[in-house]
């Protein structure tokens, strides 16, 4: 995988643009990768729910849970499904809306300086080998393209929003991406 610095896109990702993004604050370098876990409907894999959520196309009538998140405006830069297929929703130079209220090493507003990667899964389901492979390749490509990201600056949503978020959860194997720079 390789990042095109002109477009901010990963060459091996399917690009589906999300309207839920904006410019990063002027002069802000990308210095963090945040790993998340998501499934929509909850605990169900393989559907279109995540893409629909990130593109504001989620129909609240399709699942009772969707009514609880109706109108939610969120996104991530990348989504990796259970097969290891990568979809990009936001170019890396733009700010995706994935972290919410967050703090990393005494810095608030992690969306400003991070790249968000969602893995299809739940806190209590192991992620797949294909997902770890795609995640590792994506993180390596991102770090090569953005050398402002320290080698140990890959963390979980649970670490930047403790008490509020729990993903990617206890089944996430941090050792599987540490060789690409990631560390809890």
Is 161 a domain residue?
yes
pLDDT digits (tens, 9 = 90+) for 129-156: 999 999 999 999 999 999 999 999 999 9
Is 61 known to be catalytic?
Answer: no
Is 45 a domain residue?
no
Cα end-to-end span (Å), the chain:
23
Residue 34: give its domain's CATH number.
3.40.80.10
Q: Report the distance separating Cα 54 and Cα 74, nearest Å.
A: 6
Domain housing 124? 3-38+75-178
Contact 19, 103 (CB under 8 A): no
Which pLDDT score, from 0 to 100, does residue 69 have? 98
Is 23 a domain residue?
yes
Q: Report the distance separating Cα 4 and Cα 11, nearest Å.
A: 7
For the chain, which ranges sit under pLDDT 70? 179-184
Is 68 a domain residue?
no
How many domains are there within the chain? 1
- What is the reported pTM? 0.95
Catalytic one of 118, 120, 144, 158: 118
pLDDT digits (tens, 9 = 90+) for 162-176: 999 999 999 999 998
């Amino acid at each position: 995988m390789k990042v095109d610095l002109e477009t901010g896109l990963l060459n091996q990702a399917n690009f589906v643009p999300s309207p839920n993004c904006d410019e990063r604050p002027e002069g802000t370098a990308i210095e963090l990768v945040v790993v998340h876990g998501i499934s929509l409907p909850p605990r169900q894999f393989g559907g279109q729910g995540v893409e629909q959520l990130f593109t504001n196309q989620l129909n609240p009538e399709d699942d009772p849970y969707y009514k609880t998140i109706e109108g939610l405006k969120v996104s991530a830069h990348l989504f990796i499904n259970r097969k290891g297929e990568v979809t990009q929703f936001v170019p890396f130079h733009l700010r995706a809306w994935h972290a919410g209220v967050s703090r990393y090493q005494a810095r608030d507003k992690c969306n400003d300086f991070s790249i968000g990667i969602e893995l299809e899964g739940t806190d209590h389901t192991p992620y797949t080998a294909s997902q770890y492979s795609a995640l590792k390749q994506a993180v390596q490509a991102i770090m090569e393209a953005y050398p402002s990201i320290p080698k140990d600056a890959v963390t979980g949503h649970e670490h930047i929003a403790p008490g509020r978020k729990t993903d990617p959860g206890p089944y996430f194997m941090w050792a599987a991406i540490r060789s690409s720079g990631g560390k809890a």
